[in-house]
Amino acid sequence: MASKSFRRKRDSRTTVELYQEFLQDGAIFRQPPPELGAAARSLETHGVVTVQRLEYVHCSNERDRDFPPRVRGCRGQIYLDEGLDENGNEYRCPECDRPVFPHRHQKQRKLEIRANVRPDGVAECIENALTAAGYRPRRASVGVWHVEKGSERLWVCVVDFCEEQRYLARDWARAQPTCYIVVDPITAEERFHNEAWLCRLTLAAILVDPQALRNALKRLGTPSHVGNVSVPVVTKSVAPIRLERETRRVEPREYLVEFRPDSVVINGVEVIGSRATEQHEIFGKLLKRFTEDLAEALTPTEYRTLRIADLTNTDVEVPRRTINRLQASIADALRRQSGYTVDSQDVVESCGQPGKRDLPHGYRLNPRCVCVRPIRTGQDD
């Protein structure tokens, strides 16, 4: 009997752990095991994440008909995209730049899952859990609610989304009975002030056990015997966002773009030279759209795309190839300089691929990794 209950405990902990994998905004999973796929579907049903499922092939795979390629151990991955035509050599390996034919060579397909947290979905989920627990939640601020328990007012605060620092202060938590909810588990581990009297719950725990929030609020009261020190319950720094779950890439992806009159420089490397006028022009249009969205304070998922017709004036096939080359050559230049793995989607992102339902087909500067800075003149900066 003991082992049975132990197993059950382990199982439920595993579901929480699986959920937490996906509750890190921007997490990427390559060839996820079935239980991760099931967790993703379940979280989608809860409405707390959007999940993109992409298929890719390996440039070099000994089980494929085109093995071995020129670069035998090439680690390039090529994403399938309905908008690309392999007969037009539009699939290119981002690592070795060779044309790849996923369909013609029936190359083995692999699955990649990308997850993004939906703040609206999280809010709805918490409101539902509060309602189900018999409370009438009232929204006090972004990510903050209060409910009445008898004559007492209880507070619920999602630390990942809360914008008002006062709710995150230790002095607040000491005076107001507040249940803190953490979406990204990294936040819980690295940012949360570790005091036993603080009431904190993970969103994953609430999703797995709908009673968790009810039970936490039942126990919640103004804490007594708390010493007088004024420190925040979470640090002010922005929650770290996981961009890549694979061990291979450990460096933070951040691409600092300088758009010059006749070239484009990223992280100090010239990625588009003076002769590539068409690529320069396309990059300029993508950058303009990017900075407009930046000024409108959009979230990364809201950044708009430009269609091929917006980027060039000529017929569709040629410019699409130009854009694919642009993606590949930027990744190439950065890779040569840094030695890091650089994905062809890191700087100029193709959107609206199968699985990316929320965006129309098009291109944009990748809002998760691209940063913009003025031109360095070498004199005064």
Q: Which residues bind Zn ion (CB under 5 A)?
A: 59, 74, 76, 93, 95-96
CA atoms within 13 A on the CB side of 139: 11
Q: Report the alpha-carbon distance of residue 6 to residue 33 in Å, rounded.
A: 23
> H-helix or E-strand containing 257?
strand 255-259
Q: Which is nearer to Zn ion, 67 or 172 (CB)?
A: 67
SS3 106: coil
Q: Report the alpha-carbon distance of residue 341 to residue 98 in Å, rounded.
A: 17
Q: Is 43 exposed, middle or buried (0-12, 13-18, 19+ CB in 10 A)?
A: buried
The CB-of-86 to Zn ion minimum distance in angstroms stands at: 15
The CB-of-67 to Zn ion minimum distance in angstroms stands at: 11
Q: Which is nearer to Zn ion, 64 or 278 (CB)?
A: 64
Q: Which is nearer to Zn ion, 71 or 256 (CB)?
A: 71
The CB-of-133 to Zn ion minimum distance in angstroms stands at: 54
Backbone conformation region of residue 289, classed left if phi is above 0, alpha if psi is from -120 to 50, else beta = alpha
The CB-of-88 to Zn ion minimum distance in angstroms stands at: 18
User: CA-CA-CA-CA torsion for 220, 225, 228, 232, nearest 10 degrees?
Assistant: -30
The CB-of-354 to Zn ion minimum distance in angstroms stands at: 22
